[in-house]
Structure 1
Amino acid sequence: MDMVVRTSRAPEAGETLFGQGFALSPGGKGANQAVAAARLGAEVAMIGSVGRDAFGSELLEIMRQEHIDVRHIAQSNSQATGVASIVVDGEGENRIIVVPGANIELGPADIQALEHVISGAEMIVMQLETDLPMCEQAASIAQRHGIPVILNPAPARELSQEMLRHVTYLTPNETEAGILSGIEVNNTETADQAARILLGKGVRNVIVTLGSKGALIVNESGNAQHIAGFPVQAVDTVAAGDSFNGALAYQLTRGVALEEAVRFANAVGALAVGKEGAIPSLPKLPEVEQFLKETAER
């Protein structure tokens, strides 16, 4: 559950500011990505964990309303539902602290028991707000069954080369690409350099998201392609990356070429940052199609 404070700017260390608003908003990177894909038309099942508390019950109900299969979302008896404390400034930029809560209770044994679920998927989408060995196990199962894996490496953490070899599409933002590659990433050129370092560690496709500048695709054949973004007035960037990943998964499972899938995902991300909240900001397919049509006509 996201606890969102809106303020003109983020406070400095030791400083207290007045905010302009507060809201509780359903979120969590996995849930955001699941809903993003489901709203576009994908059939989605989610593996995760929430607490036996009010937030957990509310999040499960929201997932059901979004037509997401929640049979494999556990409820913890000892851990509270994960929360995120989010400060959104006047430019729409965010600063986030995540307390994973029940998410970290799931481990490799839990994932191994769900191999039949993973092996029946067309695409696995993961992020790093969960136990890392669990993610490694899921990626290993997916590779064993020939299932492509999208890994959104957020929050950025050090990843083993074995883990990276299981990743079909790695989707870091500039900050995450820098942490994973060991170089500073602040433009398209350095994003390309970071992507090539990550390809050298075994990833097959690296897609560095560049905010309003779009995304850079670098694949194992050495080709690099910049896909332009869609300039919009950002209201809240909390779900920008998650909406991108959900849209990317939706398009790739439909057999769409990677370049076209990334352009579509850029559009979904642009629409998401134009609204407040995480899940509440995620667009449905007709809205995206209309946006792309209007953009093409300009």
Structure 2
Amino acid sequence: MDVVVAGQLARDLVLLVDEVPEAGTSADARLRREMLGGKGANQAVALAQLGARPVLIAVRGDDRVGEELIEQARRDGIDVRYVACRESVPTGLIVEALDASGEWRYLQHLPEDVLLTEEDVDAAAPALRAADAVLVQLQQPGPAALAAARYGREGGALVVLDGELPARERDRLIALADVIRADEREASSLGAVSGPLIMIATSDGNVVRWKDGEEFIPLTDEKVVDTTGAGDALTAALTVGLLRGMSPIEAGHFAVAAAGATVGHVGGRPDLSGFKGFVAR
């Protein structure tokens, strides 16, 4: 199955501390991890680990960091031919400060220059039209997100939107979507949407709604170390499950299990190789 992801690529830097220090003080990090990250790249990694053939549409800078991330993405089995390289621009950076209780704080440098444009998406139109599914991160500018969804719909792909719907493109995106995935805050942009399958993350589980019903799926019982990346693993697994012909309930359980398999380690990079998941019966 060919799945195209339009979203963010960045270097993730994770620092594990006992406590986040107060202003004017410092703290030692017990662990430091640097990795390929950003929501787009994380979802592409998860898709590859679940057996899909992911293509990533994203933006990097022309620095050494960008080159290193591209090489890692290739090793992960991601097609990066549509990752645009911006001249004289640093690759995006996301810093996560994670404390011993699993609470995180992000500092990120994702300026406009490392966000997708319509032109970036247009360049990837052949891949989008040929895909079995298109995943669109709504943290990217609305026009670029809309273009990716539109090309996917033209090719008959399963169109999956992830995040908060931008006000200007909201109605047009909903009309193109088969699936919308959001957390409770992001779901405020949905209103009374009907039609697409909708999966909303809550504090104690996920609600799956589709035209014929609704199901609440509780969280798994894995010990939570870091929730970063759980939503990306969930979205990737939900997509793969639906492409494999699972029902909404089955795909929802499969997705929640993938998220549970991600929260047990530090950082947002998925670790789903060999993951079998759980399918409701």
TM-score by length of 2: 0.86
Equivalent residue, structure 2, for 1:189: none
Equivalent residue, structure 2, for 1:103: 114
Indicate the percent of aligned positions where both proteins have the same amino acid.
28
47 and 18 in structure 1: CA distance in 2 versus 1, 3 angstrom threshold: same
**What letter corresponds to residue 205 of structure 1 in structure 2?**
L
Distance 1:28 1:117 in 2: 21
Judge conservation of contact 2:129–2:155 (CA < 8 Å) in 1: yes
**What letter corresponds to residue 174 of structure 2 in structure 1?**
L
**Deviation of 1:9 (Å):** 4.1
SS at match of 1:151: strand
Judge conservation of contact 1:45–1:70 (CA < 8 Å) in 2: yes
Equivalent residue, structure 1, for 2:42: 32
Distance 1:292 1:162 in 2: 34
Q: Deviations over 1:156-176 (max 9, x none)?
A: 754522222222111111222
Distance 1:198 1:37 in 2: 30
Q: Deviations over 1:22-47 (max 9, x none)?
A: 33222110000000010111111111
85 and 283 in structure 1: CA distance in 2 versus 1, 3 angstrom threshold: same
SS at match of 1:130: coil
Alignment of 1:209 with 2:201, yes or no, is: yes
Judge conservation of contact 1:248–1:264 (CA < 8 Å) in 2: yes
How many residues of Structure 1 are paired with residues of Structure 2 in the alignment?
268
Distance 1:49 1:198 in 2: 34
Equivalent residue, structure 2, for 1:192: none
Alignment of 1:225 with 2:194, yes or no, is: no
Equivalent residue, structure 2, for 1:283: 272
Q: Which has the higher strand share?
A: 2
Distance 2:123 2:160 in 1: 21
161 and 98 in structure 1: CA distance in 2 versus 1, 3 angstrom threshold: farther
Report which stretch shifted further, 234-243 or 16-25: 16-25
Gaps of 5+ in 2: 1-10
SS at match of 1:209: strand
Alignment of 1:7 with 2:17, yes or no, is: yes
Q: Deviations over 1:90-109 (max 9, x none)?
A: 222322233224532x3113
**Deviation of 1:146 (Å):** 2.4
SS at match of 2:222: coil
**Deviation of 1:210 (Å):** 2.6
Judge conservation of contact 1:243–1:268 (CA < 8 Å) in 2: yes
209 and 160 in structure 1: CA distance in 2 versus 1, 3 angstrom threshold: same
Alignment of 1:20 with 2:9, yes or no, is: no
Q: Which has the higher helix share?
A: 1
SS at match of 2:65: helix
SS at match of 1:226: strand
Equivalent residue, structure 1, for 2:101: 91
Supply the RMSD in Å over aligned alpha carbons. 2.4
Alignment of 1:52 with 2:62, yes or no, is: yes
Equivalent residue, structure 2, for 1:124: 134
SS at match of 2:107: strand
**Deviation of 1:15 (Å):** 5.6
SS at match of 1:136: helix
**Deviation of 1:137 (Å):** 0.9
Distance 2:183 2:137 in 1: 13
Alignment of 1:260 with 2:250, yes or no, is: yes
Distance 1:146 1:292 in 2: 28
Structure 1 consecutive aligned stretches of length 4 or more whose deviation exceeds 6 Å: none
**Deviation of 1:112 (Å):** 2.2
Structure 2 residue aligned with 1:149, among 159, 168, 171?
159
Distance 1:9 1:161 in 2: 43
Equivalent residue, structure 2, for 1:269: 259
Judge conservation of contact 1:103–1:131 (CA < 8 Å) in 2: no
TM-score by length of 1: 0.81
SS at match of 2:37: coil
